[in-house]
Amino acid sequence: MRAETYFVVTTPLGVAVRTTIRYWNYLVATKHPAMRGKENVVKSVLQMPDEIRQSKIDKEVFLYYKKFDRMYCVVVKHTGKEGFLITAYPVDKIKEGEIVWPK
């Protein structure tokens, strides 16, 4: 049985990032309750980030940052031109890593 897609957003890197309803519910219930009701923030961070950095640890993981009421980070695993949401959370500062967008 295929999990039901909750949303798909295309990033400035041309990657279609998706998540399922089940995974989103897990993320806001268990990992980062501060993100409950912030689906539109996550979509906006992915569509129009201030900055995208590549993880220093895993070259297929990218960190998308955007400032709203505070700074948010959305972490995505890229597999070619598709990707999936790993996590999303408010942050106090941007982590180290190579800036891949904007160049």
CA–CA–CA angle 54, 57, 62 (5° rounding): 25
What pLDDT score does 63 carry? 98
- For residue 70, CA distances in Å to 65, 67, 77 come to 10, 5, 23
Q: Would the pTM count as exceeding 0.85?
A: yes
Calpha distance 29→24 (Å, rounded): 8
CA distance 3 to 56: 30
Rounded to whole angstroms, the Cα distance separating 4 from 55 reads 28
- At residue 96, the pLDDT reads 87
Structural contact between residues 54 and 61, judged by C-beta atoms closer than 8 angstroms = yes
Q: Measured in Å, how far apart are the chain's first and last C-alpha atoms?
A: 41
> Could you list the pLDDT tens digit for every one of the 103 residues in the chain?
467 999 999 999 999 999 999 999 999 999 999 999 999 999 999 999 999 999 999 999 999 999 999 999 999 999 999 999 999 999 999 988 899 999 7
